[in-house]
Structure 1
Protein backbone atom coordinates (compact mmCIF):
# COMPACT_ATOMS: atom_id res chain seq x y z
CA UNK A 1 0.00 0.00 0.00
CA UNK A 2 2.95 2.31 0.65
CA UNK A 3 3.98 2.15 -3.02
CA UNK A 4 0.46 3.11 -4.07
CA UNK A 5 0.47 6.12 -1.75
CA UNK A 6 3.86 7.19 -3.10
CA UNK A 7 2.60 6.87 -6.69
CA UNK A 8 -0.43 9.04 -5.95
CA UNK A 9 1.60 11.70 -4.14
CA UNK A 10 4.27 11.83 -6.87
CA UNK A 11 1.63 12.18 -9.58
CA UNK A 12 -0.09 15.06 -7.79
CA UNK A 13 3.28 16.62 -6.90
CA UNK A 14 4.10 16.87 -10.62
CA UNK A 15 0.96 18.95 -11.14
CA UNK A 16 1.75 21.10 -8.10
CA UNK A 17 5.28 21.74 -9.39
CA UNK A 18 4.05 22.69 -12.87
CA UNK A 19 1.46 25.03 -11.37
CA UNK A 20 4.05 26.79 -9.19
CA UNK A 21 6.43 27.13 -12.16
CA UNK A 22 3.66 28.69 -14.25
CA UNK A 23 2.90 31.17 -11.48
CA UNK A 24 6.58 32.18 -11.44
CA UNK A 25 6.73 32.52 -15.27
CA UNK A 26 9.36 29.79 -15.54
CA UNK A 27 9.78 28.07 -18.91
CA UNK A 28 8.29 24.62 -18.33
CA UNK A 29 9.91 23.26 -21.49
CA UNK A 30 13.33 23.77 -19.93
CA UNK A 31 12.19 22.10 -16.73
CA UNK A 32 10.95 19.12 -18.71
CA UNK A 33 14.15 18.76 -20.73
CA UNK A 34 16.24 18.91 -17.54
CA UNK A 35 14.07 16.24 -15.96
CA UNK A 36 14.63 13.60 -18.62
CA UNK A 37 18.32 12.87 -17.86
CA UNK A 38 17.29 12.29 -14.23
CA UNK A 39 14.43 9.98 -15.24
CA UNK A 40 16.76 8.26 -17.73
CA UNK A 41 19.38 7.50 -15.08
CA UNK A 42 16.79 6.47 -12.47
CA UNK A 43 15.25 4.07 -14.99
CA UNK A 44 18.68 2.52 -15.50
CA UNK A 45 19.26 2.24 -11.75
CA UNK A 46 15.82 1.13 -10.55
CA UNK A 47 14.37 -0.89 -13.43
CA UNK A 48 17.64 -2.23 -14.87
CA UNK A 49 16.61 -2.40 -18.57
CA UNK A 50 18.31 -5.06 -20.68
CA UNK A 51 20.03 -2.87 -23.27
CA UNK A 52 21.48 -5.97 -24.94
CA UNK A 53 18.01 -6.69 -26.32
CA UNK A 54 17.81 -3.38 -28.21
CA UNK A 55 18.07 -5.31 -31.48
CA UNK A 56 14.86 -7.19 -30.71
CA UNK A 57 12.68 -4.05 -30.67
CA UNK A 58 12.08 -4.31 -34.43
CA UNK A 59 8.81 -2.70 -35.49
CA UNK A 60 8.38 -1.28 -32.00
CA UNK A 61 10.81 1.51 -32.91
CA UNK A 62 8.05 3.41 -34.68
CA UNK A 63 5.99 3.37 -31.51
CA UNK A 64 8.99 4.30 -29.37
CA UNK A 65 9.70 7.30 -31.62
CA UNK A 66 6.07 8.36 -31.21
CA UNK A 67 6.51 8.10 -27.44
CA UNK A 68 9.71 10.13 -27.63
CA UNK A 69 7.71 12.96 -29.23
CA UNK A 70 4.50 12.61 -27.22
CA UNK A 71 6.01 12.32 -23.73
CA UNK A 72 7.50 15.85 -23.60
CA UNK A 73 4.64 17.31 -25.68
CA UNK A 74 2.02 16.04 -23.23
CA UNK A 75 4.00 17.47 -20.30
CA UNK A 76 3.92 20.90 -21.96
CA UNK A 77 0.18 20.57 -22.60
CA UNK A 78 -0.30 19.45 -18.99
CA UNK A 79 1.37 22.64 -17.79
CA UNK A 80 -0.82 24.76 -20.07
CA UNK A 81 -3.97 23.02 -18.85
CA UNK A 82 -3.03 23.54 -15.20
CA UNK A 83 -2.47 27.23 -15.94
CA UNK A 84 -5.81 27.52 -17.73
CA UNK A 85 -8.17 25.55 -15.49
CA UNK A 86 -6.17 24.47 -12.43
CA UNK A 87 -4.82 21.14 -11.26
CA UNK A 88 -8.15 19.72 -10.06
CA UNK A 89 -9.80 19.55 -13.48
CA UNK A 90 -6.51 18.74 -15.23
CA UNK A 91 -5.69 15.73 -13.06
CA UNK A 92 -9.26 14.47 -13.41
CA UNK A 93 -8.97 14.76 -17.21
CA UNK A 94 -5.67 12.88 -17.09
CA UNK A 95 -7.27 10.03 -15.13
CA UNK A 96 -10.19 9.92 -17.58
CA UNK A 97 -7.71 9.14 -20.37
CA UNK A 98 -8.26 5.48 -19.48
CA UNK A 99 -11.37 5.76 -21.69
CA UNK A 100 -9.24 5.92 -24.84
CA UNK A 101 -7.46 2.54 -24.56
CA UNK A 102 -10.79 0.96 -23.60
CA UNK A 103 -12.48 2.37 -26.73
CA UNK A 104 -9.47 1.31 -28.83
CA UNK A 105 -9.67 -2.18 -27.36
CA UNK A 106 -13.09 -2.90 -28.81
CA UNK A 107 -12.77 -0.80 -31.98
CA UNK A 108 -9.43 -2.19 -33.19
CA UNK A 109 -8.26 -5.00 -30.94
CA UNK A 110 -11.35 -7.22 -30.84
CA UNK A 111 -12.33 -6.67 -27.22
CA UNK A 112 -15.97 -7.17 -26.16
CA UNK A 113 -18.10 -4.10 -25.37
CA UNK A 114 -20.27 -4.87 -22.35
CA UNK A 115 -23.17 -2.91 -20.90
CA UNK A 116 -21.10 -1.94 -17.86
CA UNK A 117 -18.34 -0.56 -20.07
CA UNK A 118 -20.86 1.45 -22.07
CA UNK A 119 -22.12 3.02 -18.83
CA UNK A 120 -18.55 3.75 -17.78
CA UNK A 121 -17.71 5.38 -21.11
CA UNK A 122 -20.84 7.52 -20.99
CA UNK A 123 -19.96 8.63 -17.45
CA UNK A 124 -16.43 9.42 -18.62
CA UNK A 125 -17.49 11.61 -21.53
CA UNK A 126 -20.04 13.39 -19.33
CA UNK A 127 -17.32 13.97 -16.73
CA UNK A 128 -14.96 15.39 -19.36
CA UNK A 129 -17.65 17.76 -20.62
CA UNK A 130 -18.43 18.91 -17.08
CA UNK A 131 -14.75 19.47 -16.29
CA UNK A 132 -14.14 21.70 -19.32
CA UNK A 133 -17.29 23.75 -18.70
CA UNK A 134 -16.60 27.40 -17.98
CA UNK A 135 -19.41 29.97 -17.80
CA UNK A 136 -19.11 32.84 -20.25
CA UNK A 137 -17.69 35.95 -18.63
CA UNK A 138 -18.11 39.41 -20.15
CA UNK A 139 -15.89 42.20 -18.92
CA UNK A 140 -16.67 45.85 -19.74
CA UNK A 141 -13.63 48.13 -20.01
CA UNK A 142 -14.42 51.89 -19.94
CA UNK A 143 -12.11 54.22 -21.88
CA UNK A 144 -12.26 57.99 -22.39
CA UNK A 145 -13.76 57.69 -25.87
CA UNK A 146 -15.63 54.42 -26.05
CA UNK A 147 -16.60 51.31 -24.20
CA UNK A 148 -14.82 48.14 -25.23
CA UNK A 149 -16.57 44.88 -24.55
CA UNK A 150 -14.18 41.98 -23.97
CA UNK A 151 -15.63 38.51 -24.02
CA UNK A 152 -13.57 36.00 -22.10
CA UNK A 153 -14.83 32.77 -23.60
CA UNK A 154 -11.77 30.75 -22.56
CA UNK A 155 -11.60 29.12 -25.99
CA UNK A 156 -8.33 27.40 -25.24
CA UNK A 157 -9.57 25.78 -22.02
CA UNK A 158 -11.28 22.80 -23.72
CA UNK A 159 -8.29 22.44 -26.07
CA UNK A 160 -5.73 22.03 -23.29
CA UNK A 161 -7.87 19.62 -21.29
CA UNK A 162 -8.65 17.61 -24.41
CA UNK A 163 -4.91 17.53 -25.15
CA UNK A 164 -4.17 16.11 -21.69
CA UNK A 165 -6.95 13.55 -22.02
CA UNK A 166 -6.07 12.46 -25.56
CA UNK A 167 -2.30 12.62 -25.06
CA UNK A 168 -2.17 10.37 -22.02
CA UNK A 169 -4.71 8.02 -23.59
CA UNK A 170 -2.64 7.60 -26.76
CA UNK A 171 0.55 7.10 -24.72
CA UNK A 172 -1.18 4.34 -22.76
CA UNK A 173 -2.15 2.60 -26.02
CA UNK A 174 1.41 2.91 -27.33
CA UNK A 175 2.91 1.36 -24.20
CA UNK A 176 0.43 -1.52 -24.39
CA UNK A 177 1.30 -2.16 -28.04
CA UNK A 178 5.03 -2.13 -27.37
CA UNK A 179 4.52 -4.67 -24.58
CA UNK A 180 2.54 -6.91 -26.93
CA UNK A 181 5.40 -6.84 -29.44
CA UNK A 182 7.73 -8.34 -26.84
CA UNK A 183 9.64 -5.20 -25.83
CA UNK A 184 10.25 -5.12 -22.07
CA UNK A 185 8.64 -2.20 -20.26
CA UNK A 186 11.91 -1.01 -18.59
CA UNK A 187 13.76 -0.97 -21.92
CA UNK A 188 10.89 0.84 -23.65
CA UNK A 189 10.79 3.44 -20.89
CA UNK A 190 14.59 3.78 -20.95
CA UNK A 191 14.80 4.38 -24.71
CA UNK A 192 11.72 6.62 -24.79
CA UNK A 193 13.02 8.85 -21.98
CA UNK A 194 16.37 9.20 -23.73
CA UNK A 195 14.79 10.02 -27.08
CA UNK A 196 12.29 12.47 -25.54
CA UNK A 197 15.06 14.37 -23.76
CA UNK A 198 17.25 14.59 -26.86
CA UNK A 199 14.43 15.71 -29.18
CA UNK A 200 13.18 18.39 -26.78
CA UNK A 201 16.74 19.63 -26.17
CA UNK A 202 17.37 19.94 -29.94
CA UNK A 203 14.06 21.78 -30.35
CA UNK A 204 14.99 24.30 -27.66
CA UNK A 205 18.41 24.80 -29.25
CA UNK A 206 16.82 25.46 -32.65
CA UNK A 207 14.44 28.01 -31.13
CA UNK A 208 17.41 29.70 -29.43
CA UNK A 209 15.75 29.66 -26.05
CA UNK A 210 17.14 31.74 -23.21
CA UNK A 211 18.15 29.21 -20.59
CA UNK A 212 16.89 29.76 -17.04
CA UNK A 213 18.89 28.26 -14.20
CA UNK A 214 15.87 27.97 -11.92
CA UNK A 215 13.96 26.08 -14.64
CA UNK A 216 16.82 23.60 -15.01
CA UNK A 217 17.10 23.10 -11.24
CA UNK A 218 13.35 22.48 -11.03
CA UNK A 219 13.81 19.88 -13.77
CA UNK A 220 15.86 17.73 -11.40
CA UNK A 221 12.89 17.56 -9.05
CA UNK A 222 10.48 16.93 -11.93
CA UNK A 223 12.59 14.00 -13.12
CA UNK A 224 12.59 12.43 -9.65
CA UNK A 225 8.83 12.89 -9.24
CA UNK A 226 8.06 11.55 -12.72
CA UNK A 227 10.17 8.44 -12.24
CA UNK A 228 8.96 8.05 -8.66
CA UNK A 229 5.39 7.94 -9.91
CA UNK A 230 6.12 5.32 -12.58
CA UNK A 231 8.35 3.14 -10.39
CA UNK A 232 6.01 3.19 -7.38
CA UNK A 233 3.01 2.37 -9.60
CA UNK A 234 4.82 -0.60 -11.17
CA UNK A 235 5.99 -1.82 -7.75
CA UNK A 236 2.45 -1.44 -6.36
CA UNK A 237 1.20 -3.78 -9.09
CA UNK A 238 3.98 -6.24 -8.25
CA UNK A 239 3.42 -6.19 -4.49
CA UNK A 240 -0.39 -6.27 -4.82
CA UNK A 241 -0.42 -8.66 -7.77
CA UNK A 242 -3.42 -10.49 -6.30
CA UNK A 243 -5.39 -7.25 -5.94
CA UNK A 244 -4.94 -5.22 -9.15
CA UNK A 245 -8.29 -3.56 -8.46
CA UNK A 246 -6.86 -1.85 -5.39
CA UNK A 247 -3.96 -0.43 -7.42
CA UNK A 248 -6.06 0.67 -10.38
CA UNK A 249 -8.91 2.24 -8.40
CA UNK A 250 -6.66 3.60 -5.66
CA UNK A 251 -4.35 5.32 -8.14
CA UNK A 252 -7.04 6.99 -10.23
CA UNK A 253 -9.46 7.94 -7.47
CA UNK A 254 -6.57 8.85 -5.16
CA UNK A 255 -5.07 11.32 -7.63
CA UNK A 256 -8.42 12.99 -8.32
CA UNK A 257 -9.17 13.29 -4.59
CA UNK A 258 -5.75 14.55 -3.47
CA UNK A 259 -5.56 16.99 -6.39
CA UNK A 260 -8.99 18.37 -5.45
CA UNK A 261 -7.96 18.85 -1.82
CA UNK A 262 -4.70 20.62 -2.72
CA UNK A 263 -6.15 22.61 -5.61
CA UNK A 264 -9.07 24.00 -3.64
CA UNK A 265 -7.47 24.10 -0.20
CA UNK A 266 -3.97 25.38 -1.05
CA UNK A 267 -4.26 27.16 -4.40
CA UNK A 268 -7.83 28.39 -3.86
CA UNK A 269 -8.96 27.11 -7.23
CA UNK A 270 -12.62 27.83 -7.92
CA UNK A 271 -14.90 25.09 -9.16
CA UNK A 272 -18.44 25.75 -10.32
CA UNK A 273 -21.18 23.25 -9.61
CA UNK A 274 -20.84 21.60 -12.99
CA UNK A 275 -17.08 21.15 -12.46
CA UNK A 276 -17.74 19.52 -9.08
CA UNK A 277 -20.27 17.25 -10.77
CA UNK A 278 -17.54 16.41 -13.29
CA UNK A 279 -15.20 15.25 -10.52
CA UNK A 280 -17.94 13.07 -9.04
CA UNK A 281 -18.65 11.61 -12.49
CA UNK A 282 -14.91 11.02 -13.03
CA UNK A 283 -14.63 8.99 -9.82
CA UNK A 284 -17.79 7.09 -10.78
CA UNK A 285 -16.36 6.41 -14.25
CA UNK A 286 -13.17 4.92 -12.77
CA UNK A 287 -15.18 2.70 -10.43
CA UNK A 288 -17.59 1.48 -13.13
CA UNK A 289 -14.82 0.76 -15.66
CA UNK A 290 -13.01 -1.26 -13.02
CA UNK A 291 -16.15 -3.32 -12.36
CA UNK A 292 -16.42 -3.91 -16.11
Structure 2
Protein backbone atom coordinates (compact mmCIF):
# COMPACT_ATOMS: atom_id res chain seq x y z
CA UNK A 1 0.00 0.00 0.00
CA UNK A 2 3.07 2.26 0.10
CA UNK A 3 2.80 3.20 -3.57
CA UNK A 4 -0.91 3.88 -3.26
CA UNK A 5 -0.29 6.17 -0.28
CA UNK A 6 2.38 8.06 -2.24
CA UNK A 7 0.06 8.40 -5.26
CA UNK A 8 -2.74 9.79 -3.10
CA UNK A 9 -0.42 12.23 -1.30
CA UNK A 10 1.08 13.50 -4.58
CA UNK A 11 -2.34 13.92 -6.21
CA UNK A 12 -3.76 15.94 -3.31
CA UNK A 13 -0.51 17.90 -2.99
CA UNK A 14 -0.97 19.11 -6.57
CA UNK A 15 -4.34 20.59 -5.59
CA UNK A 16 -2.86 22.16 -2.45
CA UNK A 17 -0.04 23.72 -4.51
CA UNK A 18 -2.47 25.12 -7.10
CA UNK A 19 -4.64 26.59 -4.33
CA UNK A 20 -1.62 28.27 -2.71
CA UNK A 21 -0.51 29.64 -6.09
CA UNK A 22 -3.93 31.18 -6.67
CA UNK A 23 -3.90 32.70 -3.18
CA UNK A 24 -0.48 34.21 -3.96
CA UNK A 25 -1.85 35.57 -7.27
CA UNK A 26 0.81 33.79 -9.32
CA UNK A 27 0.41 32.79 -12.97
CA UNK A 28 -0.46 29.09 -12.85
CA UNK A 29 0.23 28.76 -16.58
CA UNK A 30 3.89 29.53 -15.98
CA UNK A 31 4.06 26.98 -13.17
CA UNK A 32 2.54 24.35 -15.44
CA UNK A 33 5.01 25.23 -18.20
CA UNK A 34 8.01 24.88 -15.87
CA UNK A 35 6.66 21.57 -14.63
CA UNK A 36 6.72 19.83 -18.00
CA UNK A 37 10.51 19.58 -18.46
CA UNK A 38 10.68 18.02 -14.96
CA UNK A 39 7.89 15.56 -15.72
CA UNK A 40 9.46 14.83 -19.13
CA UNK A 41 12.84 13.96 -17.60
CA UNK A 42 11.35 11.98 -14.73
CA UNK A 43 9.27 9.95 -17.21
CA UNK A 44 12.48 9.12 -19.07
CA UNK A 45 14.29 8.11 -15.87
CA UNK A 46 11.52 6.32 -13.98
CA UNK A 47 9.36 4.72 -16.67
CA UNK A 48 12.09 4.15 -19.28
CA UNK A 49 9.91 4.58 -22.38
CA UNK A 50 11.04 2.87 -25.58
CA UNK A 51 11.90 6.04 -27.48
CA UNK A 52 12.87 3.98 -30.52
CA UNK A 53 9.16 3.28 -30.95
CA UNK A 54 8.33 6.93 -31.70
CA UNK A 55 8.91 6.36 -35.40
CA UNK A 56 6.38 3.53 -35.47
CA UNK A 57 3.50 5.60 -34.08
CA UNK A 58 0.60 5.81 -36.53
CA UNK A 59 -1.01 9.01 -37.75
CA UNK A 60 -4.05 8.33 -35.58
CA UNK A 61 -1.83 7.83 -32.54
CA UNK A 62 -0.07 11.13 -33.22
CA UNK A 63 -3.41 12.92 -33.58
CA UNK A 64 -4.43 11.62 -30.16
CA UNK A 65 -1.05 12.55 -28.67
CA UNK A 66 -1.37 16.11 -30.00
CA UNK A 67 -4.86 16.26 -28.50
CA UNK A 68 -3.33 15.17 -25.20
CA UNK A 69 -0.66 17.82 -25.63
CA UNK A 70 -3.39 20.45 -25.73
CA UNK A 71 -5.61 18.93 -23.04
CA UNK A 72 -2.92 18.18 -20.42
CA UNK A 73 -1.89 21.80 -19.74
CA UNK A 74 -5.42 23.09 -20.35
CA UNK A 75 -6.94 20.82 -17.74
CA UNK A 76 -4.29 21.90 -15.21
CA UNK A 77 -5.28 25.54 -15.76
CA UNK A 78 -8.94 24.57 -15.44
CA UNK A 79 -8.14 22.63 -12.26
CA UNK A 80 -6.53 25.74 -10.75
CA UNK A 81 -9.53 27.90 -11.65
CA UNK A 82 -11.97 25.34 -10.24
CA UNK A 83 -10.05 25.11 -6.97
CA UNK A 84 -10.17 28.90 -6.70
CA UNK A 85 -13.93 29.01 -7.29
CA UNK A 86 -15.26 25.77 -5.81
CA UNK A 87 -12.51 24.78 -3.38
CA UNK A 88 -10.32 21.69 -3.13
CA UNK A 89 -12.95 19.29 -1.83
CA UNK A 90 -15.48 19.66 -4.64
CA UNK A 91 -12.82 19.96 -7.35
CA UNK A 92 -10.92 16.82 -6.37
CA UNK A 93 -14.19 14.90 -6.10
CA UNK A 94 -15.22 16.10 -9.58
CA UNK A 95 -11.81 15.06 -10.92
CA UNK A 96 -12.19 11.56 -9.46
CA UNK A 97 -15.75 11.25 -10.78
CA UNK A 98 -14.33 11.67 -14.31
CA UNK A 99 -13.83 7.90 -14.17
CA UNK A 100 -17.44 7.53 -15.30
CA UNK A 101 -16.66 9.13 -18.71
CA UNK A 102 -14.51 6.26 -20.04
CA UNK A 103 -17.16 3.87 -18.74
CA UNK A 104 -19.84 5.73 -20.73
CA UNK A 105 -17.50 5.76 -23.76
CA UNK A 106 -17.09 2.00 -23.41
CA UNK A 107 -20.89 1.60 -23.60
CA UNK A 108 -21.58 4.09 -26.39
CA UNK A 109 -18.58 3.75 -28.73
CA UNK A 110 -16.73 0.56 -27.94
CA UNK A 111 -19.55 -1.95 -27.50
CA UNK A 112 -18.95 -2.81 -23.86
CA UNK A 113 -21.73 -4.62 -22.03
CA UNK A 114 -24.19 -2.72 -19.86
CA UNK A 115 -24.92 -4.07 -16.38
CA UNK A 116 -27.21 -2.92 -13.59
CA UNK A 117 -24.18 -2.45 -11.32
CA UNK A 118 -22.51 -0.07 -13.76
CA UNK A 119 -25.74 1.82 -14.35
CA UNK A 120 -26.11 2.22 -10.58
CA UNK A 121 -22.53 3.49 -10.34
CA UNK A 122 -23.12 6.00 -13.14
CA UNK A 123 -26.33 7.21 -11.50
CA UNK A 124 -24.51 7.71 -8.19
CA UNK A 125 -21.76 9.60 -10.00
CA UNK A 126 -24.13 12.06 -11.65
CA UNK A 127 -26.04 12.59 -8.41
CA UNK A 128 -22.70 13.28 -6.71
CA UNK A 129 -21.83 15.93 -9.30
CA UNK A 130 -25.19 17.64 -8.83
CA UNK A 131 -24.75 17.66 -5.05
CA UNK A 132 -21.17 18.96 -5.32
CA UNK A 133 -22.14 22.01 -7.39
CA UNK A 134 -25.08 22.88 -5.14
CA UNK A 135 -24.69 26.15 -3.29
CA UNK A 136 -27.33 27.77 -1.08
CA UNK A 137 -28.34 31.32 -1.91
CA UNK A 138 -25.72 33.79 -0.71
CA UNK A 139 -26.63 36.29 1.99
CA UNK A 140 -27.27 39.84 0.84
CA UNK A 141 -25.33 41.29 3.77
CA UNK A 142 -21.88 42.14 2.40
CA UNK A 143 -20.33 41.89 5.86
CA UNK A 144 -21.37 38.24 6.02
CA UNK A 145 -19.85 37.64 2.59
CA UNK A 146 -16.49 38.84 3.87
CA UNK A 147 -16.40 36.00 6.34
CA UNK A 148 -16.37 33.44 3.54
CA UNK A 149 -13.01 31.69 3.06
CA UNK A 150 -13.56 30.79 -0.59
CA UNK A 151 -14.53 33.13 -3.43
CA UNK A 152 -18.28 33.58 -3.80
CA UNK A 153 -19.42 32.58 -7.28
CA UNK A 154 -22.83 32.05 -8.75
CA UNK A 155 -23.89 28.48 -9.36
CA UNK A 156 -23.49 28.66 -13.14
CA UNK A 157 -19.84 29.74 -12.89
CA UNK A 158 -19.05 27.14 -10.25
CA UNK A 159 -20.83 24.44 -12.22
CA UNK A 160 -18.92 25.34 -15.38
CA UNK A 161 -15.47 24.93 -13.82
CA UNK A 162 -16.34 21.71 -12.00
CA UNK A 163 -17.88 20.31 -15.18
CA UNK A 164 -14.77 21.34 -17.13
CA UNK A 165 -12.54 19.46 -14.66
CA UNK A 166 -14.80 16.41 -14.86
CA UNK A 167 -14.99 16.42 -18.66
CA UNK A 168 -11.32 17.29 -19.20
CA UNK A 169 -9.90 14.51 -17.04
CA UNK A 170 -12.45 12.06 -18.46
CA UNK A 171 -11.44 12.93 -22.04
CA UNK A 172 -7.75 12.47 -21.19
CA UNK A 173 -8.49 9.05 -19.72
CA UNK A 174 -10.35 7.99 -22.89
CA UNK A 175 -7.50 9.24 -25.12
CA UNK A 176 -4.85 7.36 -23.13
CA UNK A 177 -6.89 4.17 -23.39
CA UNK A 178 -7.26 4.55 -27.16
CA UNK A 179 -3.55 5.14 -27.73
CA UNK A 180 -2.75 2.07 -25.63
CA UNK A 181 -5.14 -0.01 -27.74
CA UNK A 182 -3.25 1.02 -30.88
CA UNK A 183 -0.07 -0.55 -29.53
CA UNK A 184 1.71 2.51 -28.12
CA UNK A 185 2.97 1.71 -24.62
CA UNK A 186 1.77 4.00 -21.84
CA UNK A 187 5.27 5.26 -20.86
CA UNK A 188 6.03 6.26 -24.47
CA UNK A 189 2.64 7.93 -24.85
CA UNK A 190 3.17 9.87 -21.64
CA UNK A 191 6.73 10.82 -22.63
CA UNK A 192 5.75 12.19 -26.03
CA UNK A 193 2.58 13.86 -24.73
CA UNK A 194 4.53 15.72 -22.03
CA UNK A 195 6.96 16.96 -24.68
CA UNK A 196 4.17 18.12 -27.00
CA UNK A 197 2.29 19.76 -24.10
CA UNK A 198 5.38 21.67 -22.97
CA UNK A 199 6.15 22.97 -26.46
CA UNK A 200 2.56 24.02 -27.21
CA UNK A 201 2.16 25.78 -23.88
CA UNK A 202 5.50 27.58 -24.33
CA UNK A 203 4.46 28.83 -27.79
CA UNK A 204 1.09 29.94 -26.42
CA UNK A 205 2.69 31.91 -23.58
CA UNK A 206 5.16 33.51 -25.97
CA UNK A 207 2.23 34.83 -27.99
CA UNK A 208 0.54 36.07 -24.79
CA UNK A 209 3.73 37.89 -23.70
CA UNK A 210 3.14 37.42 -19.97
CA UNK A 211 5.02 39.13 -17.18
CA UNK A 212 7.34 36.25 -16.27
CA UNK A 213 7.25 35.41 -12.57
CA UNK A 214 10.32 33.64 -11.12
CA UNK A 215 8.29 32.33 -8.14
CA UNK A 216 5.71 30.79 -10.44
CA UNK A 217 8.43 29.16 -12.55
CA UNK A 218 10.22 27.80 -9.48
CA UNK A 219 6.96 26.29 -8.23
CA UNK A 220 6.82 24.41 -11.53
CA UNK A 221 9.71 22.21 -10.39
CA UNK A 222 7.60 21.00 -7.47
CA UNK A 223 4.47 20.67 -9.62
CA UNK A 224 6.29 18.56 -12.20
CA UNK A 225 7.76 16.31 -9.51
CA UNK A 226 4.40 15.85 -7.77
CA UNK A 227 2.62 15.16 -11.05
CA UNK A 228 5.16 12.54 -12.07
CA UNK A 229 5.29 11.11 -8.55
CA UNK A 230 1.55 10.57 -8.68
CA UNK A 231 1.72 8.82 -12.05
CA UNK A 232 4.75 6.67 -11.21
CA UNK A 233 3.43 5.55 -7.83
CA UNK A 234 0.03 4.76 -9.35
CA UNK A 235 1.61 2.66 -12.12
CA UNK A 236 3.81 0.85 -9.58
CA UNK A 237 0.77 0.19 -7.37
CA UNK A 238 -0.92 -1.52 -10.33
CA UNK A 239 2.22 -3.57 -10.93
CA UNK A 240 2.57 -4.62 -7.30
CA UNK A 241 -1.16 -5.39 -6.96
CA UNK A 242 -1.57 -6.81 -10.46
CA UNK A 243 -4.18 -9.31 -9.27
CA UNK A 244 -6.32 -6.65 -7.58
CA UNK A 245 -6.78 -3.72 -10.02
CA UNK A 246 -10.17 -2.84 -8.52
CA UNK A 247 -8.54 -2.36 -5.12
CA UNK A 248 -6.01 0.04 -6.65
CA UNK A 249 -8.69 2.06 -8.48
CA UNK A 250 -10.90 2.24 -5.42
CA UNK A 251 -8.20 3.05 -2.89
CA UNK A 252 -6.76 5.77 -5.14
CA UNK A 253 -10.04 7.53 -5.85
CA UNK A 254 -11.56 7.20 -2.38
CA UNK A 255 -8.22 8.13 -0.80
CA UNK A 256 -7.95 11.35 -2.81
CA UNK A 257 -11.54 12.38 -2.07
CA UNK A 258 -11.14 11.67 1.65
CA UNK A 259 -7.75 13.39 2.06
CA UNK A 260 -8.78 16.41 -0.02
CA UNK A 261 -11.89 16.75 2.15
CA UNK A 262 -9.84 16.66 5.36
CA UNK A 263 -7.32 19.25 4.11
CA UNK A 264 -9.92 21.45 2.41
CA UNK A 265 -12.14 21.69 5.46
CA UNK A 266 -9.51 21.37 8.20
CA UNK A 267 -6.68 23.49 6.77
CA UNK A 268 -8.26 25.88 4.26
CA UNK A 269 -11.57 26.18 6.16
CA UNK A 270 -13.66 25.50 3.09
CA UNK A 271 -17.37 25.51 3.85
CA UNK A 272 -19.53 22.62 2.74
CA UNK A 273 -23.30 22.38 3.04
CA UNK A 274 -25.07 19.20 4.02
CA UNK A 275 -25.85 18.56 0.34
CA UNK A 276 -22.18 19.04 -0.58
CA UNK A 277 -21.20 16.48 2.07
CA UNK A 278 -23.81 14.15 0.60
CA UNK A 279 -22.07 14.66 -2.75
CA UNK A 280 -18.77 13.52 -1.24
CA UNK A 281 -20.47 10.41 0.17
CA UNK A 282 -22.13 9.69 -3.18
CA UNK A 283 -18.78 10.09 -4.97
CA UNK A 284 -17.21 7.51 -2.68
CA UNK A 285 -20.22 5.22 -3.17
CA UNK A 286 -19.87 5.62 -6.95
CA UNK A 287 -16.23 4.47 -6.84
CA UNK A 288 -17.06 1.53 -4.57
CA UNK A 289 -19.92 0.36 -6.79
CA UNK A 290 -17.97 0.67 -10.06
CA UNK A 291 -14.81 -1.05 -8.91
CA UNK A 292 -15.71 -3.42 -6.07
CA UNK A 293 -19.11 -4.82 -7.08
TM interval, shorter chain, is: over 0.9
| TM-score for the superposition, normalised by structure 2 | 0.95
Match of 1:33 in 2: 33
Structure 2 residue aligned with 1:260: 261
Structure 2 unmatched runs, 5+: 144-151
Q: Secondary structure at the match of 2:271?
A: coil
- Aligned residues of 1:120 and 1:289 also touching (Cα < 8 A): yes
Give distance in 2, aligned partners of 1:126 and 1:115: 16
Distance 1:152 1:163, change over 3 A: closer
- 1:229, distance to aligned residue in structure 2 (A): 0.2
Q: Distance in 2 between matches of 1:285 and 1:100?
A: 13
| Pair 234,27 (structure 1): closer, same or farther in 2 beyond 3 Å | same
Q: How many angstroms does 1:138 deviate by?
A: 4.8
Rounded to whole Å, the distance in 2 between the matches of 1:190 and 1:118 is 35
The residue aligned with 2:178 is 177
Q: Say if 1:10 and 1:226, in contact at 8 Å, map to a contact too.
A: yes
1:97 aligns with 2:103: no
Query: What is the alpha-carbon distance in structure 2 between the residues aligned to residue 187 and residue 87 of structure 1?
Result: 31
Higher Rg of the two aligned structures = 1
Match of 1:43 in 2: 43
Q: Deviations over 1:76-97 (max 9, x none)?
A: 0000000001100000000000
Aligned to 1:83: 84
* Distance in 2 of aligned mates of 1:41 and 1:97: 27
Give the gaps of 5 or more residues in structure 1: 143-150
The answer to whether the Cα contact below 8 Å between 2:93 and 2:280 also exists between their aligned partners in 1 is yes
Counterparts of 1:163-202 in structure 2, within 5 Å, are: 163-202=164-203
- What does residue range 202-281 of structure 1 map to in structure 2 within 5 Å? 202-281=203-282
1:25-84 CA-partner distances (Å, limit 9, x unpaired): 010000000000000000011111111111211020000000000000000000000000
Q: Report runs of 4+ in structure 1 exceeding 4 Å deviation.
A: none
Q: CA deviation at 1:141?
A: 6.7
Q: TM-score, normalised by structure 1?
A: 0.95
Structure 1 residue 22: Cα displacement: 0.4
Cα contact 1:97–1:168 (8 A) shared by 2: yes
Residues 165-212 of structure 1 show CA distances to partners (whole Å, capped at 9, x for unaligned) of: 000000000000000000011110000001101101111110100100
Residues 227-279 of structure 1 deviation map (CA, whole Å, 9 limit, x = unaligned): 00000000000011111122111000000000000000000000001100000
Alignment partners' CA distance in 2, 1:153 and 1:227: 34
Distance, in Å, in 2 between the alignment partners of 1:93 and 1:57 is 33
